Structure 1
Amino acid sequence: MIDFIEVHNNSASAKIALQGAHIFHYARKDEKPLLWLSEISDFEVGKAIRGGVPICWPSFGMNNSDLPQHGFARTSEFKHLATNEIDANTTEVILVLKHSKETLALWPYKFELELKVTVSDKLTMELRTTNLDEKTFKITQALHTYFSISHISDVRVKGLDKKPYLDALTNEQLTQNGDIVFEKEVDRVYQEVNEQILLKDKDRTIRIKNEGSSSVVVWNPWIEKGKRMSAMRDEAYNDFVCIESANAFDDFVEIKPKNSHTLKAVIS
């Protein structure tokens, strides 16, 4: 079993694993969880949790063949720096990962990666990368958020109309027309995103607002791929949609020595 931090205040509750600084539960008081978590997910050292908010860093997808898919942060042990009770409704948790002999063998740069999680009536995630090296490096990254939904047929994603996207299944560059609905596998990287995104379900609307990025990934594995995925029931694709706050493809980040970049997502 991996170690985790549990937060309760007057607004909400959350659980954050030290491995991967992985938020795997967030719910406002007396409401259903906002995040989806697989009932059969592994909570084992070295295995990524299926659901919640995995951190993909310093590489998102398979952009760097020398690194594990989605990078090494999601299975690395973060250090708990602080938990601050801002007020009765707001709690802040800060976790940090620094370069080590193991990370330098995978990725030859010195860095500090800090996640600040603010648990209130909103869930705020701020992922800050600081370059501690003497040379510039590039990163792609994502807060790979799994949202809990009533049923895949009941949801639509608003706020991406007319946005260009890469269809990762066909490698085509296309333009979104209207809302996104789910009737098959969807794996798309939207670009030029600067508006709030809405995930409309039959009984609630989830709002996602990003800063420090202009790309968003929308993903659902559907039936066949869902059956092939680890730590997930065959029918689980009905229960979640991933809307991922990202710096992907052309939206990569170049960080000079002693400089920082913050990817921020606010979910409400």
Structure 2
Amino acid sequence: MIVHKKLANGFACIEIKNSSAEATIALQGAHIFHYKREGEEPILWLSEVSDFEAGKAIRGGIPVCWPWFGFNEDKTLPQHGFARTALWEFVCSGEVDEKTTSITLKLTHSDETLKMWCYKFELELKITISDRLSMELKTTNLDRESFTITQALHTYFAVSHISDVTIKGLDRKPYLDALTWKNEVQKGDISFNQEVDRVYQEVDGEIVLIDKNRIVHLKNEGSSSVVVWNPWIEKCSRMSAMKPTAYESMLCIESANAFDDFKVIKPNESHTLRATIY
């Protein structure tokens, strides 16, 4: 079942439900803000106080950070790019079978985007909902010049409590600690007792999120960088659209092309970032 609906304020979204899972996707940002497998708790975290308003990023779910990740050199431009607050176009949807539904959304250059980023492009996100959540973010260069992108599928995972969480799959991987701007190497699994903001490089395998009540797997393609983030107590209390205790129930593991993992895309060529959660 696929339902197009609008919230009371006119905010447009698409609800999908099949025999294995359900999801809700906002047309603004092609933003998946709900995904739940049949008989289970939601896998994605969504802030209880997040905005659902035109031009404001949703806090939680899976924001699409594009065509840059983090801050732009021009600090007047939006953090994490413009794709996450732009209105995307619905392209198509289909029910592969009773357990699997797909949907494709598209964003192309406009007078507004060209003011912020002077390239012509097509950005397409294909989402497949089943007992796995699969995303394919395809960037196509429609310009006469090559351009460079960094990007991320900025996934917020719901967890029972941050103190009960372990991440496997990043042992011995180099990372940039964004809190100290020092390059480090991961030693062992990741657990949390303070703020963490790291960009891991040379990532080529499965990442496993082990929680008290469940295990979630993440596999990326077209990417060798992964961001791990939890704001912890002090930063969480200062962040917009988050309750002060929100850090206890969320954790970001972001499928990315970030920093050294940037992508140069030539005219008429494409790059696809794929992420699968299962």
Q: Which bracket does the TM-score occupy, shorter chain normalised?
A: over 0.9
Q: Which residue of 2 aligns with 1:109?
A: 119
Contact 1:92 1:119 in 2 (8 A): yes
Contact 2:206 2:220 in 1 (8 A): yes
State the AA in 2 paired with 1:41: S
Q: Which residue of 2 aligns with 1:8?
A: 17
Deviations 1:178-221 (A, max 9, x none): 01011000000000000100000011001000000000000000
Mapped to 1, the partners of 2:140 and 2:77 lie a distance apart of 19
Mapped to 2, the partners of 1:203 and 1:95 lie a distance apart of 33
* 2:129 matches 1:119: yes
Contact 2:236 2:244 in 1 (8 A): yes
Mapped to 2, the partners of 1:156 and 1:30 lie a distance apart of 23
Find 1:200's aligned residue among 194, 210, 218. 210
Over 4 Å off, 4+ runs: none
Q: Which residue of 2 aligns with 1:245?
A: 255
Q: Which residue of 1 aligns with 2:274?
A: 264
Q: CA deviation at 1:63?
A: 4.1
Mapped to 2, the partners of 1:177 and 1:208 lie a distance apart of 20
Mapped to 1, the partners of 2:39 and 2:15 lie a distance apart of 17
Q: Which residue of 2 aligns with 1:215?
A: 225
Q: Which residue of 1 aligns with 2:4?
A: none
Find 1:67's aligned residue among 77, 80, 84. 77
Contact 1:67 1:107 in 2 (8 A): no
Deviations 1:14-63 (A, max 9, x none): 00000000000000011100000001100000000000000000000014
Partner SS state of residue 260, structure 2: helix
TM-score, normalised to structure 2, is 0.95
RMSD over aligned CA atoms reads: 0.7
Q: Which residue of 1 aligns with 2:32?
A: 23
Instruction: Show structure 2 runs of 5+ residues with no match.
Output: 1-8
* 2:172 matches 1:162: yes
Q: How many residues align?
A: 268
Find 2:103's aligned residue among 93, 99, 103. 93
Deviations 1:77-122 (A, max 9, x none): 0000011111100000100000000000110000000000000000
* 2:114 matches 1:140: no
Mapped to 2, the partners of 1:166 and 1:249 lie a distance apart of 9
Contact 2:72 2:78 in 1 (8 A): no
Mapped to 1, the partners of 2:211 and 2:72 lie a distance apart of 33
Find 2:242's aligned residue among 232, 257, 261. 232
Q: Which residue of 1 aligns with 2:3?
A: none
Mapped to 2, the partners of 1:115 and 1:82 lie a distance apart of 11
Contact 2:109 2:119 in 1 (8 A): yes
Partner SS state of residue 208, structure 1: strand
Partner SS state of residue 263, structure 1: strand
State the AA in 2 paired with 1:12: A
Mapped to 2, the partners of 1:237 and 1:101 lie a distance apart of 38
Contact 1:59 1:67 in 2 (8 A): no
Q: Which residue of 2 aligns with 1:53?
A: 62
* 2:146 matches 1:153: no
